[in-house]
Amino acid sequence: MYIHTDDFDSLRKVNINLLEIAIKAIDGVSENLQYFVLQTGGKGYGLEFPDEIDINTPFRMDMPRIPKPWYDNIFDVSRLPNSARQHHVSHR
């Protein structure tokens, strides 16, 4: 799930909202949901900024994330508000 917009600020806002809604909706209909996994792509490695950032593959989880100011413009799950990152699944 992802909604593309033409500017970084609205891109981040609309996708954070989308993720929060999706998590709450899934939790509301899944009696056995205990956790969810969000697969993220290459934005944290700089794929949106190939002219500004040195991109080295293969990507690994222990690689550093891209530096500011580029990092400030990406949708990164680690920057989600607590309501999305730490959504506690309700147990019925």
Q: CB under 8 Å to 39, separation ≥6 — which residues?
A: none
Which amino acid belongs to residue 38?
L
Closest CA to 47 of 71, 69, 68, 11: 71
**Smallest Cα–Cα separation from 69: which of 81, 52, 84?**
52
Query: Is the pTM for the entire model greater than 0.75?
Result: no
Averaged pLDDT, groups of 10, the chain, 92 residues long: 85 85 87 78 86 90 87 72 51 41
The pLDDT value recorded for residue 88 is 45
